[in-house]
Amino acid sequence: MKMVKSLSVIIHLGLILFVLSAGVYASDWSLQNELPTENSLNSVWGSSGSDIFSVGDDGTVLHYDGSTWAEMTSNATVDLNGVWGSSGSEVFSVGDDGLILNYDGNSWTEMTSNTTDSLNGVWGSSGSDIFSVGDDGTVLHYDGSTWEEMTSNATVDLNGVWGSSGSEVFSVGDDGLILNYDGNSWTEMTSNTTDSLNDVWGSSGSDIFSVGDDGTVLHYDGSTWEEMSSNATVDLNGVWGSSGSEVFSVGDNGLILNYDGSTWTDMTSPSDDRLYGVWGTSGTDIFAVGEDGTLLYKTDDDDDNDDEYYEECFIATAAYGSTNASHVEVLRNFRDRFLLNNKFGRAFVELYYTCSPPIADAIARHTILQAIVQASLLPLVGMSWVALNFGPATVLLLMLALLALMIATTVVLLQRLGNSKARFVRSENAKPQE
C-alpha cells in the first residue's frame, strides 16, 4: 500500500512537470525572446552573425548585434520587402511604392528609385552593381550613383533576385516566370512550372534553387530547370543555403525544409506562423523571419544522441504507446511553441528530463497505469489544443470562467443546503411537544 501511494505521488508530480514542460522532442530551431515588434518581417540579411538586418511591414527595420534585436529608425511607413548589403555600412532595403532605403552605418535615408512600382527583392554583386525587382516586371539597377529601370519584357510580378556575378543574375516571379541577365539583357528561361515562384538562391551559376507556391522547388544545373520533390503542399516563401548540400527553405504554417544534397526533409519548427525569409552565416547559424514579428534561430544541436533517450522516457509517450499519437503531438507542439522560447519553460523541460524516466518506465509496464495517465492527461491535451489554436489567453479565460462557474455552483448548493436546514428546523419546531 505504501508503495502504491509513493508511486501515485511520483505520477502526479510527473504530470505537473508534464503540464509545465509538455516535452517530447526538442528542435534545434528556437524562437527568439523579447521580440521588438509585432509587425510582419519579410526579409533578413547580415554581414556577419553579429550584424544582421531584418525588414518588414510599416517600415520596420530591426538590427541584431549578436545578443539582442533592436528596432531602428527608418522614417518609412510602407512595407519593406527585401534587404541586402555589400557590408554592414552599405545596406539597401526595398519596399512598396518604389521605396528604396540606404543605410550607411549610421542612419537610413531614402534614395530616388525613379519608379512607383512596389519592389519585392534586392541583390547585388557589389555596392555599385545592385539589382532590384518588383511588380509588373519591374527591374532596377544601381551603378553606385543612380537607380535606373531596365527592360525585362515581363509583365507579371517579380518576387526574388539572386546572382553568381553581375553578369549572371536570375529573377523569379509569378506564373513560374524565371528571367536571366547575362550582363547585356534579360531573357526568359523555361521553368517547367506555372506555379508562382517567390525566391531564388544558389551556391553557383550551375547550382541554383527556386521555391514557390504549393511546395514548389526548382533546381538549375547550368542548363535546365527541373522540379524537385519537396513533399510540401504549402507555399514556400524564402530560400538560402550555406552550400549546395545545405539548403533551407521556409514557408507557410511555420514550415522549414532542409536539403542535404539528396532529399528535402521537414524540420521541427517551434512556430506555426508564416515564414517569409531565411539567411545565415553557416549551416548551424541561421535566422528565419515571418509574420507578427516572428524570429527563429537555428544553432548546432550537440545533444542529438540524447534525443532518442528523452523521446523514450516521456510520460505521454509511455501512456499512449507512440510518439506519433495525436495527443502527444498536441503536447509536443505546445512545448515547442510556448515553453522552449523562454528560460522558465526551458528550466521546467530540463527538470522534466531528469525526473521522468522512472515514471515513464513504470507507466509503460502497467496497462492500468497507462489508462489512468491517459485519462489524467485529457484536460492537459485539451488546454494545449486550445492554446495552440486560439492562444494562451483563451485558456486563461476558460479557466477563469470554469472557476467562476464552480464558485457560483458552490454558492447555490450552500444556499439550498441552508434553506433545507432551515425548513428542517422549522418542521421540528412545529411538532407538538410530548
pLDDT at 427 over 50: yes
CA-closest candidate to residue 159, choices 220, 200, 106, 187:
200
pTM summary value: 0.68
pLDDT digit string (tens) for 24-62?
A: 334 468 887 566 788 999 999 999 999 999 999 999 999
Amino acid 432: pLDDT: 64
Q: At what angle do helices 304-313 and 343-364 cross, to 10 degrees?
A: 60
Q: What average pLDDT does this structure show over 219-239?
A: 97
What does pLDDT average to over the chain? 83
Look-up: residue for cell 489567453? 393
Res 183 pLDDT > 80: yes
Q: What is the pLDDT of residue 313?
A: 41
Integer Cα distance of 326 and 323 in angstroms: 9
User: Model confidence over 163-179: pLDDT tens digits?
Assistant: 999 999 999 999 999 99
Between 30-39, 187-196, 226-235, the lowest mean confidence (pLDDT) is in: 30-39
pLDDT of residue 288: 97
Q: What is the pLDDT of residues 78-125, one digit of tens each?
A: 999 999 999 999 999 999 999 999 999 999 999 999 999 999 999 999
pLDDT of 12 reads 46
Nearest C-alpha neighbor of 119 from the set 105, 91, 104, 99: 99
